[in-house]
Chain A
Amino acid sequence: MKDTFLSEVARSVYDTHQPDLNHVTVVFPNRRAGLFFQMYLSKMIDKPVWAPTILTLEEFVLEKSDLQVADPLTLIFELFKAFNTHQTVPETFERFYFWGEMLMKDFEELDKYLVGPDQLFIGIRNQKELDEAFYFLDEKDKKTIQSFWASFLPDASPSQSAFLKTWEILSPVYHTLTKSLKEKGIAYTGLIYREVATQIKELAKGETVVFAGFNALTKAEELIIKHYVKAHKATVHWDMDAYYFQDEKQEAGSFLRDYAKDPILKKTFPDKTPSYFKQNLKKINVTGVSLEVGQAKAIGELIKNKIVEKQFNPEQTIVVLPQEHLLFPLLNSLPEEVTKLNVTMGYPLKETPLYSLVESILHLQSTMRYEQNIFQNFYYQPVIEILSHPYIGQSFPEETGKLLETIRKSNKIMIAKEELEEENELFQMIFQGIKGGTAWCDYLVEILKQLYQNMDEVLGLEREYLYQFYQIFHRLKEILALHEVETGIEVDTFIKLFRQVTRSIKIPFEGEPLEGLQIMGVLETRNLDFEHVIMLSMNEGSLPADAKSGSFIPYNIRKAFAIPTFEQQDAIYSYLFYRLIQRADQLDFYHNTTSEFGLNGEISRYIRQLDHESGFDITEKLLANNASIADPVPITIVKDNKVLRTLSGYLSDGRGRFSPSALNTYLDCKLKFYYRYIAKLYAPDDVQEEMDAAMFGNILHRAMEFIYDNLTKKRKPRKIVEPTDFFMLYSSIDDAIKVAFQDYYHLPSNRKLVLEGRNLVMFEVMQGFMKKVLEQDEKYAPFEIISLEGGSRQGYKIDFPLADGRKVGLKGIIDRIDRKEGIVRVLDYKSGKDDRNIGSKEAFFDRESKKRNKAAMQTFYYAMLYINKHGDDETIKPGIFNMRELFQKDFNESLMDDELPLNDIRPYMEDFRKNLGVLLEEIYDQNDSFTQTEDTDKCKYCDYNGICRRG
């Protein structure tokens, strides 16, 4: 194996300090480098030794201070308090929160770059101030900042004034904050850095220190390292290559070039800059892939091929993931043969189902409303989410199923607590309104505990989630307990805090840090060298990552005060990139080519740079898709014995009967008929959006039934409706609708019906329509009601003979039958687009015809049922009350045959029976099969279009 940077450092440390290795402190940018360093070192010794102390620079610095680093939430609360002491109108914590995070970052930077807050946060109000304020800066920086402030003069614009208002208090805020933190013995890292850097002379203990692998140092870090170099002869190892170090245009080398010019640091630079980049001839492949998963799959194949060719050397291979979320696609795509892995990333808590449950519960809390200050009501959306969540739904399938159905049916937007409790502890625990920050934490912890107890099988990872959430809520509780009172946390802020804490938590993987295939994020690659480097997401916005501006300090001011801007960030990425590949000899890059779904499809600038400058051959490829999909196989059900047996269940001696809608279904699509009436696959009616229409029809029918029922049955039983009845009928519309609703919801009659939301609208719309129906009836009165909704729920029946003597059971429920002057009307209420023009009678049973009038067919069918029971001595007139026509002035319920009203159906009956007979024969015909309809329009709203693949 070739030398790596860390083996070189190890060699140097060994040569210089052996056998006193345990008195040396080696400082690296991160821990991982230390691990590799130890490994190299252990290869050089000939008997066990105490290892040198290995620290990250941060550990090294923090050790020197007595201040403790506080956690971010504590800091935000402290900052909030400091901020409000200087605000004339105090801000609420809600509004402050995010902006506070930004400010905290700014303060961190300020300290790490040793910028004086008093000099920075100064507002300029006139020319004189402008001329004098920035005397301490050099000419160029002064110009930059003056040009910024110049635009504020002579008068600040509204947005500038807004800016100044905050800007000018930041310095006092800074002082208040740092003072109060120090009093408590806590700090943020930046503050400690500043403390240590400014007092390094006193704090330095004179240890033997080796610094290795640094690049972009903050001002404070620089100061500290320089002190050790100057006063304690510390050694510094720079991890660099002439390729970017000596080329002034390469931003990757910009920091190092600066250090090489520094009077103190320059001595630490080697006389000869290492030059591996050009020495190692590199094989470079660049592959464009549409989106992301394909990149992972392509890598899987690449590694697989290497394994097959026996070229795979896992220890010398690294896969770099600039986008963390590609970890799982990658892990799943690695071939079986790759058995050892080391992953520096973790399992994001945010993507676990438990997280989404917690989110839903919090959403439940944030949308909970009190009614009359006592009754708690919950918004249906989170309720549904919670009940159908796998952790809840699968633990309590019965209870959740029942609740879900009622909720979906009820159209309710807010659901009362009482309705959700059931006989279930967990539900009672979840569905309760909670107030106050710490109380939410307790509430959630309790729920977690209950959940755990209710799971019959806990997957390994799930325990870890549970633990993490448990920790989070405990932590939040601790912090909130300290600050809750002063800040008055609302549930929405609580949610934000929760998200904030959870966002970054990953369940770490346990791997083989020094063995197997290495999978890392970009930052972790520092100081490590591999022969084969594979990188995904080689796109702009990913490598380099998008500049996260998120600062209150404007660009030009940052520039003047040498606080990093996006240019520095770009340079850091650039260094990470070139450093990683400098000693490698095979490079495989993958990038996304599609700018969509929030992804950047532009190839990374580094590829363009390599292409133009490196002189290496770069093979560029495109991962393309070739697809050939087979059409879904057709579905045909042959009427074998089993099918026929089921079918015979609809014969007159069987248990079932066909309704007109069954026949219509058959005519629409034979297969659909099969699914519903033979295979009996039912759709659970949970499709919220489609409920409205069905419900509207349902309730309207009931209400119409009730209103006449009331008249003809309940009081003095009689059948004739007189014109004088209408006064009473109009006034009972509301009651009828209410009863219909009540009935629809299966509410006991003593429970009060409360309508809200959509139902309220439906109620009023219904009123309008019923009034119109009654107006028509009033004009028609007096008439006799023969039957409503088939008299009873049983409806009308008929046993229809087939040619072979068997009889088919048919049934139907007729909305209304009335009689006047010897004319019997068979009526149907319709609330759709139905047409009263019957069109061609032949077409009633013609499935090919686009104009098949289902509604008319249905009325004919009802007439047939009526005649079957009562004979055809009277004139029988079918009719349709079309809701959409009711408001027209020339409303009419008659069916129309060729522009003429169909006043008597009897002459039509023979034909109708004949055609119906043909249809039924076909249904029972063994040689005919249940096939899919040819008219795919019919499939659009079919419940079975998933099976047929015709959605």
Chain B
Amino acid sequence: MPNNHPFLVYKSSAGSGKTYTIAKEYLKLALSDAFYFRYILAVTFTNKAADEMKDRVLTFLTDFANGKSSPLMIELTEHLHCDQKAIQRKAEEVLRNILHDYSNFSITTIDTFFNQVIRTFTREIGLQGGFEIEMDLDDVLVEIIDKMLASLHEDEELKKWLVDFAMERLKEGKSYEFREEIKGLAKQLFQEQYKALESKLTGTEVDRSSLKKLADLLNQKIKEFENSLTEIGEKGLSIIEANGLTIHDFANGKSGVANQFNKWKIGDFSEPGKRVLDAMEDVGKWFSKKSPLKDQIEALADQQLLPLLQKGYAYFQAERKSFQTASEVNKYLYTFGLLNDLTTKIREYREEHEVILISDLPQFLRKIIDDSDTPYIYEKMGNRYHHILIDEFQDTSTFQWDNFKPLVNNSLASGNFNMIVGDVKQSIYRWRGGNSDLLLNQVSQDVGEGQIQEKFLSTNYRSHEQVINFNNGLFQVTPLLLRDFLAAEIGETADKSLESAMQRRLEFVAQSYEGVAQDEPEHIKKEGFVQLSFTDKPKRGADHSWDDLAVQWAIKQVEILQQNGNQLKDIAILVRDSGQENKLVQAFGQYKHAEEALPNCLYEVISAQAMYLTNASVVNFMIAVFKYLNNQKEQIALAEVVHEYQRNILQNKVDLNELFTKNLNEYLPDGFVKYVHVLGRFPIYELTEILIRLFELHQKEGELAYLQAFQDAILEYSKNEKGDLGSFLKWWDQKGKRRTVQFSENLDAIKILTIHKSKGLQYKHVLVPFCNWNMDHNAIFSNILWTKSLSQKPYDLLEAVPLRYSSALGISLFSEQFFDEKIKAHSDNLNLLYVAFTRAEQNLLIHAQAPSKSRKAGKIGLISDLIWDYSHTLPDFDEETKVYEQGKLVENHQGTEDDKGLDEVYLQTYQSSKWRNKLMVKKQAGDYFDFGETTKELKVNLGTLAHQILSEIKHKDELKACIDATYMRMQITSSDADKLMSKIQQLFENEVIESWYSGKYEVRNEVVVLPKDGQIKRLDRVLLEGEKAIIIDFKTGKPKNMDKNQVIGYAHLLEEMDYKEVSGYLVYLEGPQILQVK
């Protein structure tokens, strides 16, 4: 169905039913024809989201098929021009088709889809057919960094960069931890920002030389600037000294004008303060009015110092920008060198190991897509998509969109419907590559305005009235405030030319929030509650911090909510970072036992922290045991084992000093002590089960969930990695440790989580206690910006440069990049606020920091400044208490339970028991080898092989072929084959044996006799001649009575089968020894 605006862009907002919308559009298409779903591709980001979307579509279909009427059903009747009955029939058909052609039901994640494409093209893009994707980038880094280090002695430049790197860190007062630091830096390599430039950065000798040249030029420039000012500084100081004065004799002493010379001398090139600037105009400002040396100073200043200062300042002003630029570029140039080298090493790694790194996938895909046209891709894959629906579009990265673009355009060219859904306001994953500009602008440019139809989803189905209203107001105004503030900031420091360039970007901030105001669904208005309270930051030296206040506030709110009948599990506390999370967890944990705790309130919390496996004794204990088993010299690990076992697991009262100083084994179960030397040799999953049994860890009821999750971690590990303890412990330290346990949704506990993690979730009551985060990047992080280099000399030597985000960059020639990043950082933080505040359904409770008295009007340093400026305009804001409220706290008394998920069951026990006595492995080794128990020598046992061959052939002529075949199957080596041959031929020299293989009898080899309702018998060899039967059984080893009985048993069987003359032989192959059995 050709469409004039086939590309639908849904701009959603919080709670506006995004998944519903995408499911709806999906169904509109899918219901158009029985198998039409095969032509629709719907993608989203996480597996979880994809699962949800699938569920949604299937549930709708099931409901339709069951004839349930719903608004959606009605909408579809209109869209498909048919009645409900017809939809019901259609839905049933489509549903069954989907269920039985499920692999073609393409609702998936972006990554899965792209992998599928790549897989079809492995050979063509020069990947190995095996196509191993290296997921573990950390391991890769360790290896390439080692490689790099190993090559240092032959690479002077590389060494220099590393030295610079180490020096820089020491100068920053950081500790000399080398490898980890480089690893941190090297992670850049996997980021899109760097990768986008990578093609220009690949390490060739040419690049290296320009790097060096640039470094030289920059250093020259920096030196020149520094020397000039230092010289002036020194000159000034020597004049002062020559006149018998010191800086303290001048106005304001150390903080006055004369000290400027000192500053220059010691290399402080910051912008001179107001006192200095004033003094440059006015000799009178050089001395304090009461100074006895007034006249001398005045004369000195007038004749020498003032002109000198002016000269210095003039130079400073003229050169500062280019100096700043040079030093900013210079500062991180070594990272460039290092990364450049690491890039080369990574390329080598890929080739050597024949893998591609997971981070390479988008680029590979790009190559495929660029090299072939869309229909061909589909031909090879077997799916041909007419429609592409993309969810969470604000999180899409540039690479990802670039890869979708041709597919989408191909579809649009046939007039087919496509859509994207996203919310710029909820774009908080820029650091992971999400580029919300795509949704805001880029897409419409890429597919052409004419094709696009924009729709806003503006009904909020999640939050109740007051919450919606509050957010409507807040997020209509704050973006504008933020824009104006940033505009002012930029205006202050930047050139006029820049200002206009930034104008557009500033508008984006506002534009992102256009249409933010949401409606409530008609007919169903529900009362909600918003409370916003500001508290002052305590004075310096106070015995509590603002964070303490926030914590107290949160505890208080939790109590109030409970007193109004609300349940803990409906409460979420959102925080900015894990530090705050920790604080809350600790505080609630302590408060629970404190006297102030209210008797009728609960204080249970769960947080990502609490879910870490390491919180459980059993897990810590296991790890300690592992450490100890891995290295039995680890005294501390052993102490930990013993302590954990006795005190936390058994909860014994023991004399601690004894415990730590005595022979520690006394405190452990005998079984463990006895087997400690072999335990390390068990496969690691087995080991955990053995330990569970030895230490009876399954008795530790409260921790079973952790034990289970720990075993899952082990299982995952042993599936993919090496099976020894050392490797496991390394993995645990790097990754495993961060594993968490999943809790039931219904657990009655407050959820504490970061705003980032809360995206996509909703809660009845939301608390935001720490509403005071920075709007700008945190200075501690070294945010490296990769930017295009400047076109002017000498910067044109390189295409791109790494820079560190700092205000110094704002006064360099890179100020545009700086402000660009600054704007983005600010909008990220505003978006976080949006995400946080829109999680609430009923009660939204906020604790923000009141701005200090000294804050400059309009300055937005913290997110709370922004909220403050807005809420101040509200009529209901109480200036006295600094509290703003709307509505009344919503109460939920028991019995109003609405959502009910699946029935939950719990394990009553944790089963672990030995299996080795129930099940034996097939002992092949014993047959094949002679295990000389005393000599401990491994020798191949030819007997067993001979047995095998002799039972297999019927006639001695078949011997060679049979041995050959055994060899062909690679069961034996060629030398074994020869030995075997001669061994058997030797046997044939025995007349009796020979006669069995001479064709005289009818031969049945490895023949099965079915006894009446009993155990099936397989006989090695039976020779038949009329009513006569000969049973032959081959044996290795020494004659045993048992063997005899066995053959007698066989003989009885044959007699029952009416053979009249049955005889049996046992052949012991070493020897050979032939025994006839009667």
Q: A616 interface residue, CB < 8 Å from B?
A: no
Q: B857 interface residue, CB < 8 Å from A?
A: no
Do B1010 and A51 touch (CB < 8 A)? Answer: yes
Chain A residues closer than 8 Å to B684, beta-carbon distance: 351
Chain B residues closer than 8 Å to A745, beta-carbon distance: none
Indicate with 1 or 0, residue by residue over A514-547, a CB within 8 angstroms of chain B CB atoms: 0000000000000000000000000010001001
Q: Tell me the complex Cα distance, A628–B153, Å.
A: 56
Q: Tell me the complex Cα distance, A946–B172, Å.
A: 31
Q: A139 interface residue, CB < 8 Å from B?
A: no
Q: Tell me the complex Cα distance, A375–B915, Å.
A: 50
Q: Which residue of B lies closest to A470 (CB)?
A: B938
Do B726 and A385 touch (CB < 8 A)? Answer: yes
Q: A127 interface residue, CB < 8 Å from B?
A: no
A-B contact pairs, 7 of them (CB 8 A): A50-B1010, A332-B915, A390-B680, A630-B648, A682-B635, A757-B150, A761-B166
Q: B751 interface residue, CB < 8 Å from A?
A: no
Chain B residues closer than 8 Å to A43, beta-carbon distance: 1013
Q: A163 interface residue, CB < 8 Å from B?
A: yes
Q: Which residue of A lies closest to B379 (CB)?
A: A148
Q: B69 interface residue, CB < 8 Å from A?
A: no
Do A597 and B376 touch (CB < 8 A)? Answer: no
Q: Tell me the complex Cα distance, A293–B706, Å.
A: 11
Chain A residues closer than 8 Å to B1004, beta-carbon distance: 50
Do B150 and A414 touch (CB < 8 A)? Answer: yes
Q: A186 interface residue, CB < 8 Å from B?
A: yes
Of B305-313, B626-634, B840-848, B1033-1041, which binds chain A?
Answer: B626-634
Chain B residues closer than 8 Å to A384, beta-carbon distance: 726
Q: Which of B99, B103, B266, B911 contacts A333 (CB 8 A)?
A: B911
Q: Which of A50, A291, A624, A679 contacts B904 (CB 8 A)?
A: A624
User: Residue among A326, A328, A550 with the most chain B CB within 10 A?
Assistant: A328
Indicate with 1 or 0, residue by residue over B421-443, a CB within 8 angstroms of chain A CB atoms: 00000000000000000000000
Do B101 and A625 touch (CB < 8 A)? Answer: no
Q: If the complex has contacts A301-B907, A555-B382, are A329 and B715 also in contact, measured as CB distance less than 8 A?
A: yes
Do A331 and B677 touch (CB < 8 A)? Answer: no
Do A510 and B54 touch (CB < 8 A)? Answer: no
Chain B residues closer than 8 Å to A692, beta-carbon distance: 176-179
Do B911 and A297 touch (CB < 8 A)? Answer: yes
Q: A714 interface residue, CB < 8 Å from B?
A: no
Q: Tell me the complex Cα distance, A566–B122, Å.
A: 18
Do A633 and B708 touch (CB < 8 A)? Answer: no
Of B447-455, B786-794, B860-868, B925-933, which binds chain A?
Answer: B925-933
Q: If the complex has contacts A594-B742, A764-B163, A765-B166, are A696 and B102 also in contact, measured as CB distance less than 8 A?
A: no
Do A765 and B617 touch (CB < 8 A)? Answer: no
Q: Tell me the complex Cα distance, A43–B267, Å.
A: 101
Q: Tell me the complex Cα distance, A54–B615, Å.
A: 57
Do A693 and B1009 touch (CB < 8 A)? Answer: no
Do A612 and B1016 touch (CB < 8 A)? Answer: no
Do B373 and A627 touch (CB < 8 A)? Answer: no
Do B711 and A329 touch (CB < 8 A)? Answer: yes
Query: How many chain-A residues does the 8 Å CB contact rule pick out?
Result: 216
Q: Which residue of B lies closest to A184 (CB)?
A: B968
Q: B957 interface residue, CB < 8 Å from A?
A: no
Contacts A74-B970, A449-B938, A760-B153 known; 7 new A-B pairs at CB < 8 A = A39-B1016, A42-B1016, A68-B964, A351-B684, A356-B724, A612-B62, A622-B901
Do B904 and A622 touch (CB < 8 A)? Answer: yes
Q: Tell me the complex Cα distance, A765–B716, Å.
A: 42
Q: If the complex has contacts A159-B125, A166-B123, A331-B919, are A627 and B705 also in contact, measured as CB distance less than 8 A?
A: yes
Within 8 A of B (CB), among A621-648: 621-633, 635-638, 640, 642-643
Q: A439 interface residue, CB < 8 Å from B?
A: no
Do B903 and A621 touch (CB < 8 A)? Answer: yes
Closest 5 CB pairs of A and B: A555-B382, A98-B130, A99-B129, A300-B911, A467-B925
Q: Tell me the complex Cα distance, A356–B630, Å.
A: 14
Q: If the complex has contacts A333-B912, A509-B922, are A353 and B681 also in contact, measured as CB distance less than 8 A?
A: yes
Min CB gap B1014→A, angstroms? 7
Q: A917 interface residue, CB < 8 Å from B?
A: no
Q: Which residue of B lies closest to A643 (CB)?
A: B657
Q: Tell me the complex Cα distance, A91–B589, Å.
A: 65
Chain A residues closer than 8 Å to B265, beta-carbon distance: 889
Q: A292 interface residue, CB < 8 Å from B?
A: yes
Min CB gap B739→A, angstroms? 8
Indicate with 1 or 0, residue by residue over B954-997, a CB within 8 angstroms of chain A CB atoms: 00000000001100111001100000000000000000000000
Min CB gap B955→A, angstroms? 16
Do A623 and B657 touch (CB < 8 A)? Answer: no
Q: Tell me the complex Cα distance, A328–B712, Å.
A: 12
Chain A residues closer than 8 Å to B747, beta-carbon distance: 626
Chain B residues closer than 8 Å to A99, beta-carbon distance: 122-123, 128-130
Q: B660 interface residue, CB < 8 Å from A?
A: yes
Min CB gap A368→B, angstroms? 13
Do B614 and A951 touch (CB < 8 A)? Answer: yes
Q: Tell me the complex Cα distance, A380–B527, Å.
A: 67
Within 8 A of A (CB), among B563-586: none
Do B382 and A627 touch (CB < 8 A)? Answer: no
Q: Tell me the complex Cα distance, A465–B176, Å.
A: 45
Chain A residues closer than 8 Å to B174, beta-carbon distance: 833
Q: B375 interface residue, CB < 8 Å from A?
A: yes
Chain B residues closer than 8 Å to A511, beta-carbon distance: 919
Indicate with 1 or 0, residue by residue over B674-692, a CB within 8 angstroms of chain A CB atoms: 0001101111111001000
Chain B residues closer than 8 Å to A613, beta-carbon distance: 96, 99
Q: Which of B678, B746, B1010 contacts A459 (CB 8 A)?
A: B678
Q: Tell me the complex Cα distance, A631–B588, Å.
A: 13
Chain A residues closer than 8 Å to B58, beta-carbon distance: 608
Q: A609 interface residue, CB < 8 Å from B?
A: yes
Do B1016 and A453 touch (CB < 8 A)? Answer: no
Chain B residues closer than 8 Å to A413, beta-carbon distance: 146, 149-150
Q: A364 interface residue, CB < 8 Å from B?
A: no
Within 8 A of B (CB), among A647-706: 675, 678-679, 681-684, 686, 688-690, 692-693, 696-697
Within 8 A of A (CB), among B690-747: 702-706, 708-709, 711-712, 715-716, 718-720, 722-727, 741-744, 746-747
Do A567 and B149 touch (CB < 8 A)? Answer: no
Indicate with 1 or 0, residue by residue over A454-473, a CB within 8 angstroms of chain B CB atoms: 00010111111011101100
User: Residue among B614, B686, B716, B919 with the most chain A CB within 10 A?
Assistant: B919
Q: Tell me the complex Cα distance, A675–B636, Å.
A: 9
Chain B residues closer than 8 Å to A48, beta-carbon distance: 1009-1012, 1053-1054, 1056-1057
Within 8 A of A (CB), among B635-670: 635-637, 639-640, 643-644, 647-648, 651, 655-658, 660-661
Q: If the complex has contacts A49-B1057, A832-B175, are A325 and B129 also in contact, measured as CB distance less than 8 A?
A: no
Q: A854 interface residue, CB < 8 Å from B?
A: no
Q: Tell me the complex Cα distance, A399–B42, Å.
A: 60
Q: Which residue of B lies closest to A323 (CB)?
A: B719
Q: If the complex has contacts A339-B918, A693-B175, are A45 and B936 also in contact, measured as CB distance less than 8 A?
A: no
Within 8 A of B (CB), among A30-60: 35, 38-39, 41-43, 45-51, 54
Min CB gap A278→B, angstroms? 17
Q: If the complex has contacts A151-B375, A414-B150, A605-B102, are A42 and B708 also in contact, measured as CB distance less than 8 A?
A: no
Within 8 A of A (CB), among B1014-1039: 1014, 1016
Q: Tell me the complex Cα distance, A540–B908, Å.
A: 28
Q: If the complex has contacts A99-B129, A160-B376, A765-B163, are A690 and B1012 also in contact, measured as CB distance less than 8 A?
A: no
Q: Tell me the complex Cα distance, A486–B273, Å.
A: 79
Q: If the complex has contacts A304-B911, A509-B920, A628-B702, are A556 and B379 also in contact, measured as CB distance less than 8 A?
A: yes
Do B656 and A626 touch (CB < 8 A)? Answer: no
Q: If the complex has contacts A352-B723, A602-B51, A635-B656, are A567 and B905 also in contact, measured as CB distance less than 8 A?
A: no
Min CB gap A926→B, angstroms? 14
Chain B residues closer than 8 Å to A757, beta-carbon distance: 146, 149-150, 152
Do B647 and A492 touch (CB < 8 A)? Answer: no
Q: Which residue of B lies closest to A519 (CB)?
A: B919
Q: Which residue of B lies closest to A631 (CB)?
A: B589
